[in-house]
Amino acid sequence: MPSILIEVDGTRVTTIDLAGMQVVDVAVHGGLDGENKATLSAMGGNYADGACGHLIWIDQHALLPGQVVSFTLQENCADADRGQTLDELYPNEEASTKTDFTISDEMAAELRARPRLHDEFIAQVETSSGERITAVSDDLNTNFRFGLLWDWLHPDRARMRLATYCFDDVIARRGGQEHLEALLAHGEQVSFSLIR
């Protein structure tokens, strides 16, 4: 079964064994309003009855400008790390009972009022084939997300997407401006870096 290898500046952070998983989402996200300009996360699981449930391999790992995050879809798995449940990561936290995630007018106003902590970002993705895609912040693109999404229906590939957006896109549930949408096949690697 395939696996996803995640490295930061050439050092292995985690390897996710995809055997038994239904979906795994690995992402770098951030924006001009966050304390950390960029954050790396990796989560997924198998949500069938009796399966592992939701697991987290990387929980909000702060990245610095200039660091390079590499994602490789490996055909086989060696030295995989075990994902953790929310209870394992946060043993002293009460489980949330919230089921309504509608953005109220009050929440929307709070999002729009958040101060900018950074002047700009320049995010860059480079594929195995040498294609280089750059996304730059502006007034309508204050946040970014680069994601790699794998699912059990297509185990030999993962979908990757780089997009920029603003809070109005989040509130309206729009996807923002797409800069890259492509597939990553077995043996291929894609890298993300926050230039600024």
* Residue 70 CB partners (closer than 8 Å, separation 6+): 5, 6, 7, 8, 10, 189, 190, 191
Residue 1 has pLDDT above 90, yes or no: no
What digits encode the pLDDT tens for the residues 109-125? 888 888 999 999 999 99
Q: CA-CA distance, 173 to 177, in Å (whole number)? A: 13
| Structure confidence at residue 36 (pLDDT) | 94
Region 160-180 average pLDDT: 91
Region 79-93 average pLDDT: 90
Rounded to two decimals, the pTM is 0.91
Bigger pLDDT: 170 vs 63: 63
Listed by start position, the domains of the chain span 3-194
CA distances from residue 172 to 106, 131, 175, 179 in whole angstroms, order as listed: 14, 31, 9, 19
